[in-house]
Structure 1
Amino acid sequence: MSTLILKGRLTGIDPTAESWLAANNLTGDRDAALRLSRAVDPARYGFDERDRLDLSQLNAAMTESVIELLIAGQVPTQAAIAAAGICLPNKNTDATRKLRRAEAKQLQTLVRADAGTLGDKLACVISEDWAAHSIGPTWQEVWHSGPSVEWWSNVWGELPEFRTGANVTFALLDRLGWIASNRSPRSLCTGRRFHTRFFRDHVSAAPPTAIGYQLARHVGIYRRLHGGRSPQWAQIADNLIDNKGLPLFFNAHDGRAQQRWLITQGWVRVQDNQLRRGERAKAETRRRAGLRKRSHTAIQAA
């Protein structure tokens, strides 16, 4: 067995694994990062005969299995994921699961076709809940809300079962930027798309991940250049633009309004009333540095 992981918590952690964990709301869990690294690059840890886990090939069901295995303290090898999928009581259960997957694909197609309408409706429900209770609603509450029931009744005839439709619906709306969350209870909040829907082409159309990373990088650089002092939202809104020259935020008010989803997804954090880089941003920086290092090594070896 390799001793690579014994020297410090970051030593031996695969950058791809760390970035994947950050994207799946497991940022900062070093034990999970080490276990996933052993699955992603087993040869590095002395398991030469074990098949590598390709994170880019995971579907939604496999992703959930990996997360469950990590939380349970296990290494999510391909064998472990397969075992989680085949340990079924009987063939009838297997058939039911296949039917449920097929239905989930149909539901996902419907959501994708009208994501703007549904995303806006559900984000409004979430926004109203935050305004009333200063905390996010549960997934169940949003799923069974009036706007959700109405939309699904129009396109499907009825509200689908929560276990079948909610995961694919919320996952897609999260990727599109309508909502955001992490693994903390009631963390569900409105996403970037909800806040920029009225600004149209006056603000950047870059995906939330690009916006979050660019903002965090700007905050980190600004703090280094200004003795540990963070930029204010007015300064960020005035100066931060994408590669097309469009501002990331319409104004300071818009930036502050979006701060919640940026914190929720780990791009930034607030300490002593100042913006700082979040754990997901740090993980992404390490991942990109690792890719550059490997690319440089490959070029030198060529």
Structure 2
Amino acid sequence: MQLVRGLHNLRPQHRGCVATIGNFDGVHRGHQAILARLRERAVELGLPSCVVIFEPQPREFFAPETAPARLARLRDKLELLAAEGVDQVLCLSFNERLSKLSAAEFVDTVLIEGLDVRHLEVGDDFRFGCDRLGDFDFLQQVGNAQGFSVEAAQTVEIDGVRVSSTQIRNALAVADFALAERLLGRPYQITGRVLHGQKLARQLGTPTANVQLKRRRVPMTGVYLVSTLIDGTAWPGVANIGVRPTVAGDGSAHLEVHLLDFAGDLYGRRLTVVFHQKLRDEQRFASLEALKTAINADVAAARAHWHGQPDGCV
């Protein structure tokens, strides 16, 4: 899959394609249905498939403090799109200039002049442009005039639940990982690089891997049973995700993972942390000794859980 950052980096080989537009946060089963149809159309027309995404996502640009927590950061999203067989991704910087484009200007600038789109797949609730006039009907009118076809993807429902990034965030917020997995088509996981931290957990007797989140907000907080993928092996453990209220910090979210019985240097490595079950909410303790007691109880609960699993981890 080829990544194109910005319209200025488009080349002749990127023009003439089958495209779709959206945030694709989480690349869930609703997105997967759109991408499957995109692949079908691309094969039928003998053209490359292209996904147009934005960075930051529009709501992060307009209201960064209240924008929804991301399910996946950009790197993870690109890997998921590649796994779905997408040929190219056009990542547009969502800035002041792009935010002021009307629906008609967006179509002219991005879809026609930029990509020379021959067919467009959009979600059934897709809207765009500073005037919010860009929707399926508008795209069909322009497509008829400019010579490209437009198809609206139908809503995907699973067990009566509409698949959406919002529904997945809601499921994660209440630790319903079974529902999140059904909507995503895979277990919920976070991937990041291990950074040096305060090493306080090591002083408390439970060393942790400080996994880089690279996102303003996270969809959940608390202490969880997790498994962590290292060199193809899933290591059982317990993780805390949140702002660490007992320890003075910068107020940003952190992900710290304690792997049961693991010995080795993980600094600088990218880990994938899979979430399975919530143990408790994150809380502020009166002292480090009280925090240590709670951590020991979390680790004991994790050991009891994983000990009862047939393969030690799932």
- TM-score, with length taken from structure 2: 0.24
Q: Which has the higher helix share?
A: 1
- TM-score, with length taken from structure 1: 0.25
Q: Which has the higher strand share?
A: 2
